[in-house]
Chains A and B, each alone.
Chain A
Amino acid sequence: NAGVTQTPKFRVLKTGQSMTLLCAQDMNHEYMYWYRQDPGMGLRLIHYSVGEGTTAKGEVPDGYNVSRLKKQNFLLGLESAAPSQTSVYFCASSYSGAGGQETQYFGPGTRLLVL
């Protein structure tokens, strides 16, 4: 099992450009999440999904959109990148059901630099 994989590993964007980050998991997890990690701020939830075709906002959703067309994939989109979106982005997945969000499995991260 590959677990959770993320594509790309690193990307440089100019302000105003758009891009999509791809997350894939092969553990048949219902729940998937996108976090951003910034120095001194820990991991903050951007958006999450509790199943195929569903998405919901997290703590810091502004400037991002997501889609979950297939159970194994969760896409994070930046329509018009801003320097404030320079960060490391982590995708995670977990089981559903009672306590399902407890143990989350993380991908290796995508480092994004917006100039």
Chain B
Amino acid sequence: GENVEQHPSTLSVQEGDSAVIKCTYSDSASNYFPWYKQELGKGPQLIIDIRSNVGEKKDQRIAVTLNKTAKHFSLHITETQPEDSAVYFCAAINNQGGKLIFGQGTELSVKP
């Protein structure tokens, strides 16, 4: 089955700096890769996603890149702000009958 590894487990950056979180997956059939943000005391919420036919996707300050050959994808946050502080989860799924498999999570701390 699918296995998703996520690094780093914790990340601390200064406000205004960029943050990068990386994930690798094992199942080459996986074709959809969402990223979820979990704020303290809340459930995870989808923030951006990418499909296997696309190499990069941007939404304002966040972007996701996908390298199918290497089977890894990354979340990039530019101009970080204190409100970006949260736990971020990557996930992968083969949407033809597979289950969404989550990475271990990255706790991002943005220091003012």
Contacts and interface: CB of A to CB of B under 8 A. Distances in A.
B89 A42 contact: yes
Interface of B: 4, 6, 9, 32, 34, 36, 41-46, 49, 89, 93, 95-96, 98-100, 102-105
A101 interface: yes
Contact of B100 (A40, A90, A98, A101): A101
Nearest to A40: B104
A43 B35 CA distance: 13
A42 B89 CA distance: 7
A92 B100 CA distance: 12
B46 A42 contact: no
A103 B95 contact: no
Interface in A77-115: 90, 92, 98-99, 101-104, 106-109
Chief secondary structure at chain A's binding surface: loop
25 contacts: A40-B105, A42-B6, A42-B103, A42-B105, A43-B44, A45-B100, A48-B99, A59-B99, A90-B43, A90-B44, A98-B95, A98-B96, A99-B32, A101-B93, A101-B100, A102-B49, A102-B93, A103-B34, A103-B46, A103-B49, A104-B100, A106-B43, A106-B44, A106-B45, A108-B42
Contacts, number: 55
Nearest to A101: B100
B43 A107 contact: yes
A64 to B, nearest CB: 16
A113 B34 CA distance: 30
